[in-house]
Structure 1
Amino acid sequence: KPRTKRKKMSKMEEEKSKDNAKIYSKSITEQQACFNKNWILQLNKQESIRDFICLICKQVANNPMEIDCPQHKNMDESLIVGENCLNQFLNQNPNSCPIEPHNNCLYSQSRMARRYINELDVICLRQFQQKQEQKQQLQMSTQQRHEKGETLGIVSCNFKGKVKQVNDHLEHSCCLQTVKCWFGSFGCNYTCLKYAIHDHLTSNMKLHLDLVIKSFDALQQTIQQYQ
């Protein structure tokens, strides 16, 4: 009976952890899209990014490309698009131009714009996403949260650095990084934020031991079948 109760608690814990970690699970590869303008504006002024807005998605250009078509030589504004946005546009509109309809679009990598954007100061991207999630949660009244027994267990990442440092931070040092249980290969599907994995391991030692023993027994049975 105690073992059954423990498994139920573990399952509830697992479901709760998946919900809590959902907004932090974005993969690093998603950073290939242009940068969220509201994220950049956390530590920068609007005028400092005005010339680096992607003309396609209206966010801050990632790997900025400059449109060099002679048809636009008299335009005063900066003709910048994010590389990923441009590739998607050209895939859907081969040999066209995102500024205005014409063939043979000319473009080149804007190294100066890329260096400038890479040096912009930003907070942790996951921390920004957490703030957005908190705003949604705060729309629920305090009374409703109290009735449901909900609390905003907030863990904050204090990272402040350059855009060029964000990927390394998210991958190696962010406390809001989502990790899987070390015993995942034995059947524990628990997922949580990086800071909480130690508590999970120490509070579920018996469960993990049972999973290892079960896996070992299954391996022994398989070996015996081939003897």
Structure 2
Amino acid sequence: MESKEEKEEKRVNVNRHFFFDSGCYNKEWVSLTNEPQKLNSLICCLCNEITNNAMELQCGEHDNGERVYLIGEECLQRYLKQSSGKCPIEQHYHCEFSKNKVVRQLVSDLMVICPRQFDLNKHFRPTKPGESEEREKQSNSKYGCNFKGKMKDIQDHLDKSCNLTYIEQVISSEIQSHLNVVNQQLKQLQDTNQHLLSQLQTETTLQIVLSLFLQ
């Protein structure tokens, strides 16, 4: 049985898959309900997504007041660990940074749709002309979620009120169903092949017996 900590870690990892692969929020997802101009000042300068827990670099080496360098907290921590503490802007040591509370609040108040619905829409994205309407009907009827709310409410929605299953479970179920059909067809072919081999052996035996009888 999974411990409480293991369940929590799995939940966090699954939710990360939906909308912040790099630690920051998926810009394509957020752009569906927000004007691009509104998002330009919220971009992480490392991953080019929407900053999650925005940090502002304050190193004296590039603190000229002309540009604010924003980085998502997880992106920054990962980068500093991989670069032995070097600043991502000018590669100097002793990188200085602090929380940018203003940007964090702006991101927290962004309106977004359910990230699971976003992933499902991508999953049902048409590959041929004319498929769009049919795939949209499939997506909405089987897995639809009409949630639209603030970023800060997303986690509560996913944990308590979202009626969608995880996209991994949906895809896994479809793959498993397809594999079951393939396995069934394979077994039928194997059975047919075995039957044909048995028939061939019987006919060969009869031919040998008949040949001996006629000698």
* TM-score (normalised: structure 2): 0.63
Contact 1:63 1:82 survives alignment (8 Å): yes
The 1-side partners of 2:90 and 2:166 are apart by 43
Change in 2 beyond 3 A, CA 1:63/1:151: closer
* Residue type of the alignment partner of 1:99: I
Change in 2 beyond 3 A, CA 1:46/1:79: same
Contact 1:171 1:177 survives alignment (8 Å): no
Number of the residue aligned with 1:171: 159
Unmatched 5+ residue regions in structure 2? 1-11, 172-215
1:28 maps onto 2:15 in alignment: yes
* Aligned equivalent of 1:126, options 113, 116, 141: 116
4+ residue runs over 3 A deviation: 29-32, 140-143
Number of the residue aligned with 2:74: 84
Change in 2 beyond 3 A, CA 1:72/1:177: same
Contact 2:43 2:49 survives alignment (8 Å): yes
Change in 2 beyond 3 A, CA 1:26/1:156: farther
Number of the residue aligned with 1:159: 147
Number of the residue aligned with 2:91: 101
**Higher alpha-carbon Rg:** 2
The 1-side partners of 2:92 and 2:146 are apart by 47
- Give identity over the alignment, percent: 32
Contact 2:54 2:71 survives alignment (8 Å): yes
Number of the residue aligned with 2:100: 110
The 1-side partners of 2:108 and 2:148 are apart by 13
Unmatched 5+ residue regions in structure 1? 1-24, 180-190, 194-227
Structure with the larger RCO, 1 or 2 (CA within 8 Å, 6+ apart): 1
* TM-score (normalised: structure 1): 0.60
Contact 2:46 2:71 survives alignment (8 Å): yes
The 1-side partners of 2:34 and 2:121 are apart by 17
Contact 1:89 1:98 survives alignment (8 Å): yes
Richer in helix (by share): 2
- Structural mapping, 1:1-227, within 5 Å: 27-30=14-17, 33-135=23-125, 138-140=126-128, 153-154=138-139, 155-178=143-166
The 2-side partners of 1:152 and 1:26 are apart by 29
Contact 2:121 2:136 survives alignment (8 Å): no
* Residue type of the alignment partner of 2:160: H
Q: What count of residue pairs does the alignment treat as equivalent?
A: 151
The 1-side partners of 2:68 and 2:136 are apart by 46
